[in-house]
Structure 1
Amino acid sequence: MATETMDNRIALVTGASRGIGRAIALELAKAGHHVIAVARTQGGLEELDDEIQAAGGSATLVPMDLTDSPAIDRLGLTVYERYGRLDVLVGNAGVLGPLSPLGHVDPKRWDEVMRVNIDANWRLIRSFDPLLRQSPAGRAVFVTSGAAHKCRAYWGPYAVSKAALEVMVRTYAAENATTSNVRANLLNPGALRTRMRAQAMPGEDPMILKTPEDLAPFVLEMVAPEQSRTGLIYDFPTDEWLVPQMPLPEE
């Protein structure tokens, strides 16, 4: 089983205090990873830690706002000094932002979405790429959305940020494909029973949706050392690995 090779691996998960991030962090801890759980909410992190300890796992709690870029760099230094490597990076934290015509979006709200959904993930790559390269099998997963491809009206800030995230992660994967043991992929969770989904679809019955706990075991497989795919999208609704759209011919 994949989990038999995961003992003592170090995993960092952002947005770990609730929803998808919480479920992934708990699943990783149950499989033997030491989880570095990052989120803004101290209380949510402490509740996660209680569950991880009850399951026999271990965690380090990091209350942090991901828009604080120097804090990400300090965390990278701390992880280096304590462990010398990072085996798994899960970039899950994100915000929906305003659902509004593009011309009506407040610039501050636009900036907030980009800072959390794209800039913070770039800072994570910048700070933790050297540590992932020190792992025998560094694995990075970033959470995307079908919104990046649908270009649905009024979803502009969120869709743009996720499209940018996909290009960034695919570029990062290409940079590591032949030069290191790091593999980077994207995860499309689809419609799950989360707070963000309820915010986006307030009239939807949440009980018809799958849960983050349903998704988490599949993420465990994505970060397994023997999983060698890179630069792809794992689509949870269809349980398929998708090749992103082919690029235009070069001029």
Structure 2
Amino acid sequence: MNIDLTGRTAVVTGASRGIGYFLARHLAAAGAHVIAVARTVGGLEELDDEIKAERARTGKGEATLVPLDLTDMEGIDRLGGAIHERWGKLDILVANAGVLGVIAPLGHVEAKVFDKVMTVNVTSTWRLIRSVDPLLRQSDAGRAIVLSSGAAHSARAFWGPYAASKAAVEAMVRSWADESRNYPLRINAVDPGATRTAMRALAVPGEDPNSLPHPSEIAARIVGLASPELTRTGEIYQARHDRWVSYRMPE
């Protein structure tokens, strides 16, 4: 989808690899200034090189790199403050970062593993929402995209902590969207489906990665949810073959 994001500012978490990396590139290619957040400095620097090369070719896109571990809750708060000081608003949030934990029976999951999944996938997402919500409301067309998973609904055996975390994330998205209906802010969740990422390889080690779509393909479809023209909010978008299907959860 071709969209013009010139002059718009976007935060992307988990931007050093996978879907987040390619979403950051697509947003920058559309003209956005991307605030790329991740723990891995090397991945962020590679992203910056790609965005600079794209800018040299097209004159579009810039990046600000923010090395940040999302378990650092005060660091998330400082991120919102820094955006306010420099730009006064935020146009796009992509909450992409997440961890798998372990694939194991619930009774076998260690407490520290469960706590980390909830901290990274749920608490840090809430903290990020709290930090940037006032900034998104200052935009003329604020857009939030929160990555979820089909695990939130399938609740398959051995996926308990991850499934629970993504179900919680979707509940937050729906509540936040409902709270924001009187603002030009559109908030949606995305289940990207099985994608050729490092997390997927950990979850399903025997799977042929070449049978799955590349994260750049999925990112190219997700980026449309950042469009200022988007009207839908509070929905869950799911990958289905070559198209997106969206639905509203029951009221």
CA distance in 1, matches of 2:150, 2:219: 18
**Number of aligned positions between the proteins:** 245
Tell me the residue number matched to 1:8. 7
Match of 1:104 among 104, 108, 124: 108
What CA distance in whole angstroms lies between the structure 2 residues aligned with 1:245 and 1:28? 28
Alignment of 1:225 with 2:243, yes or no, is no
- Shift of residue 217, structure 1, vs aligned partner: 1.9
Q: In the TM superposition, what is the alpha-carbon distance from 1:104 to its structure 2 partner?
A: 1.1
For 1:132 and 1:142, locate their aligned partners in 2 and report how far apart those are by CA, in whole Å: 14
Question: Match for 1:62: what amino acid?
Answer: V
Q: Which residue of structure 1 aligns with residue 38 of structure 2?
A: 39
1:145 counterpart SS class = coil
The CA distance in 2 between the partners of 1:236 and 1:54, in whole Å, is 30
Identity of aligned residues (%): 57
1:112-136 alpha-carbon deviations (Å, 9 max, x no partner): 0000001011001100000000000
Q: Structure 1 stretches of 5 or more lacking a match?
A: none
Q: Secondary structure at the match of 1:37?
A: strand
- The CA RMSD over aligned residues, in Å, is 1.1
Q: Normalised by the size of structure 1, how large is the TM-score? A: 0.95
Alignment-mate amino acid for residue 80 of structure 1: H
C-alpha distance in structure 1 between counterparts of 2:249 and 2:126, whole Å: 22
- Within the candidate set 170, 174, 194, 1:170 is matched to 174
What's the TM-score, normalizing by structure 2? 0.95
- Say if 2:117 is the partner of 1:124: no
Q: Structure 1 segments of 4 or more deviating over 6 A?
A: none
* 1:26 counterpart residue number: 25
Write the distance in 2 (CA, Å) between the matches of 1:47 and 1:242: 33
Which structure 2 segments of 5+ residues have no match?
A: 56-60
Please list, as runs of the form range in 1=range in 2, the aligned pairs for 1:229-240 lying within 5 A after superposition: 229-238=232-241, 239-240=243-244
Give the aligned residue type for 1:165: V
1:241/1:173 Cα in 2 relative to 1: closer, same or farther (>3 Å)?
A: farther
Instruction: Work out whether residues 2 and 224 of structure 1, in 8 Å CA contact, stay in contact via their aligned partners in 2.
Output: no
